[in-house]
Amino acid sequence: MAARYEKCLTESDTVSRFALPISWLKVLPPIEQGSHEVNFQVTDGLGFFWEFCCSTRRVGRYRKPVLQSEGWLKFVNYKGLKVGDKIVLDTEANDFRGTKFRIRAQKLNKECDQWLDV
Q: pLDDT digit string (tens) for 15-70? A: 999 999 998 888 888 888 888 899 999 999 889 999 999 999 777 777 789 999 99
Does position 86 have pLDDT exceeding 90, yes or no? yes
Q: Which residue has the higher pLDDT, 93 or 17?
A: 17
DSSP per-residue letters across 66-85: EE-HHHHHHHHHHHT--TT-
pLDDT at 13 over 80: yes
Q: Where are the domains of the chain?
A: 4-117
87 compared with 61, residue with greater pLDDT = 87
Portion of the chain with pLDDT greater than 70, in percent: 95
- What average pLDDT does range 87-110 have in this prediction? 88
Q: Tell me whether strands 100-109 and 37-44 are parallel, antiparallel or unpaired.
A: parallel
What value does the mean pLDDT take over residues 82-111? 90
> How far is the C-alpha of 37 from the C-alpha of 77, rounded, in Å?
23
Q: What is the mean pLDDT of the chain?
A: 90
Q: Is the per-residue pLDDT at 84 higher than 80? A: yes
CA distance readout (Å), 48 to 13, 17, 26, 70, 102? 21, 20, 25, 17, 10
pLDDT at 26: 87
Please tell me the total number of residues recorded for the chain in this structure: 118
Task: Give, in words, the CATH class of 4-117.
Answer: mainly beta
Segment holding 8, helix H or strand E: strand 4-8
Closest C-alpha among 53, 100, 103 to residue 79 = 103
* Predicted pLDDT of residue 28: 87
Contact 7, 20 (CB under 8 A): no
